[in-house]
Amino acid sequence: EIVLTQSPGTLSLSPGERATLSCRASQSVSSRFLAWYQQKPGQSPRLLIYGASTRATGIPDRFSGSGSGTDFTLTISRLEPEDFAVYYCQQYGSSPITFGGGTKVEI
Under the rule (CB under 8 A), what is the footprint of other proteins? 1, 32-33, 35, 37, 44-47, 50, 56, 88, 90, 92, 95-102
Instruction: Give least dist CB 80 to other proteins, A.
Output: 21
Is 83 strand, coil or helix?
Answer: helix
Closest CB to other proteins among 1 and 61?
1
Pairing verdict, β 10-12 and 103-106: parallel
For the chain, the distance separating the N- and C-terminal CA atoms, rounded to the nearest angstrom, is 34
Q: What are the two backbone dihedrals, phi and then psi, of residue 58, each rounded to the nearest 5 degrees?
A: 85, 0
Instruction: Give least dist CB 48 to other proteins, A.
Output: 10
Closest CB to other proteins among 14 and 95?
95
Instruction: Give least dist CB 14 to other proteins, A.
Output: 25
CB 79 within 8 A of CB 11: no
